[in-house]
Chains A and B, each alone.
Chain A
Amino acid sequence: MSWLAEPFQYEFMQRALVACLLIGFTNGFLGSFVVIRRLALMADALSHSLLPGLAVAAIFFGLSPGGLLFGGLLAAIFVALGGHLIAQSSRIKDETAIASLYIVAFALGIAIIKYAGVKVSLDHFLFGNILGVGDGDLWTTYAISCLTLLLLVGFQRPLLLAMFEASVARTQGVRVGLLLGLLVVLIVLAMVSSLQAIGVLLALGLLILPAATMYLLSDSYAVMGWGGAILGTLGAMAGLLLSFWANIPSGPAIVLVLGATFLAAYLFSPKYGVLSRRLRKRHLHEESLERWKH
């Protein structure tokens, strides 16, 4: 097993491993809500809109995790709320409103970064660097993970109701708008927490891929959530090792590993896999016979 332990004799790898555990688990769990609610593209838009907030925060506070967190959060919430407002007050639909705002925000971010006093390369925000994760980053990620998991588990019942059928949830007294808003805030927090490790552009992979994989494997939201969390953790760790051995950046390595599991589930999932369904297809007569019985 020395081949497995060897990379972790370096302190930066130990830190990277802890970061992987935290962001893999949290993003994997949160991702199930994102996939069920079909918010993947919304999350993508939010990840892009972080950029101007990060840039402004970098100008004022340098690269401190707290400042970046605050700046990114503010920018993303601004885009989410602004998009909602535009959709409510005009004939423009939600996705167009959000897309319009986030792409402008992204452009603004790239423009502002040029003026950041500290030496910040765009690459750092876009792709992250898990080997450069500091203690401050780890504490921030830890706090976000605890908060996210507590809120999601605590409010699981009303959240599920709100996501499944908003009107029924409202008749039962659930504050639907508030809960879905909370979900958006948690998505942004998770994005910011995985920023240092895998960057703005690849953070979406950690959020979506484990949940999408589990969605192909299970019909239970609970299995989807916890399974996604475990898959996200294992995938992030495997990606970290892959990046060490193959000498490629950690962000892409993690997303590639998770992408491979997604592809495998798409093809071979016992119930919903494309190939397994084809192999299992029975004679038409048997199928119609079974339908007849029900």
Chain B
Amino acid sequence: MKPVLKLEDLTVSYNRIPAVHHLSVGFFAGSCVALLGPNGAGKTTLLKAIAGLLPIETGRIFRERGSGRSAIAYVPQRESVDWDFPITVRGLVEMGRYPAVGIWGRFGAADREAVAEAIRICDLTDLADRQISALSGGQQQRAFLARAWAQQAEIYLLDEPFTGLDRNASASFSAALRRLRDSGKLLIASHHDLKNVAELFDHVLLLNGELVAFGTTAETFTTDNLDRAYQTHVFSGHP
């Protein structure tokens, strides 16, 4: 099987300071990957680089499927969103269709169907006409996932999606994530709660400025690897 997303010797800077160094790793379709590492390890930087939001210093990013803009869906941290924006859940999910519809294209029946499906899959049918601030944290996270789904992306990049979600909310959110995974999508999420990694993710990428370990959760999520990733010194490339 060929990886759908391959990083080769990738170095990315954040505010002109290199945050991810010479990373080489391949991700496969139909998997849910946890991006783990201490604060400052470069998790968000890596996600943004894959999303095309940050320039690449060295190396390359290869994508197997879908080279278009809409093949990658980026779900930002919840704090960065203006929740008082006058938009309903349905309106938010419709935004996921904008790349496909274009600036002046007509919003057709197929688009409406894609929106309805995304809302259904993320369990938001009853809440579709609510303004987005009238949702709970888990529902807000699912609404953004629904938008990414409506975009019909192949690769989903999620920045700390489980932060601030309680047990029930993260259970229903991860159920929505699994539905995406089972339909063959690749999901990469930065994450910091080590207690629930095993139940939420299939693969783990341990990062500490550079690659510490990557593999299936069963093989890679070990005390030994965690100690190496979370040691006090974050690799910054500087002695």
Seen from chain A, the residues whose Cβ lies within 8 Å of a Cβ on chain B are 36, 154-155, 157-158, 160-161, 163-165, 167-168, 170-173, 215, 218-221, 223-224, 294
Chain A residues in 8 Å Cβ range of B73: 171
Interchain CB contact under 8 A, B136 and A161? no
Can you report 23 A-B residue pairs in the complex whose CB atoms are below 8 A from each other?
A155-B103, A158-B103, A161-B95, A161-B98, A164-B81, A164-B95, A165-B80, A165-B82, A167-B53, A167-B74, A167-B76, A167-B80, A170-B52, A171-B52, A171-B69, A171-B74, A172-B69, A173-B69, A173-B99, A215-B86, A219-B87, A220-B87, A223-B86
Contact of A157 among B87, B103, B151 (CB under 8 A): B103
User: What is the size, in residues, of chain B's interface with A at 8 Å between Cβ atoms?
Assistant: 28
Chain B residues in 8 Å Cβ range of A224: 86
Seen from chain B, the residues whose Cβ lies within 8 Å of a Cβ on chain A are 48, 51-53, 69-70, 72-76, 80-82, 85-88, 91, 95, 98-99, 101, 103-104, 131, 136, 151
Q: A157, A172, A218 — which one has the most chain B CB atoms within 10 A of its CB?
A: A172
Interchain CB contact under 8 A, A160 and B95? yes
Q: Which residue of B lies closest to A215 (CB)?
A: B86
Chain A residues in 8 Å Cβ range of B51: 167, 171
CB distance from A51 to the nearest CB of B (A): 32
CB distance from B95 to the nearest CB of A (A): 6
Chain B residues in 8 Å Cβ range of A215: 86
CB distance from A43 to the nearest CB of B (A): 18
A168 to B81, CA, bound (A): 10
Interchain CB contact under 8 A, A294 and B76? no
A219 to B80, CA, bound (A): 20
Interchain CB contact under 8 A, A154 and B103? yes
A173 to B98, CA, bound (A): 11
Chain A residues in 8 Å Cβ range of B98: 157-158, 161, 172
Task: List 5 extra interface pairs beyond A164-B87, A168-B76, A170-B53, CB under 8 A.
Answer: A157-B95, A171-B72, A172-B70, A219-B88, A221-B87
Interchain CB contact under 8 A, B82 and A164? yes
Chain B residues in 8 Å Cβ range of A173: 69, 99
Given contacts A167-B53, A171-B53, A219-B131, A294 and B136 within 8 Å (CB-CB): yes
Interchain CB contact under 8 A, B99 and A172? yes
A157 to B101, CA, bound (A): 10
A219 to B95, CA, bound (A): 16
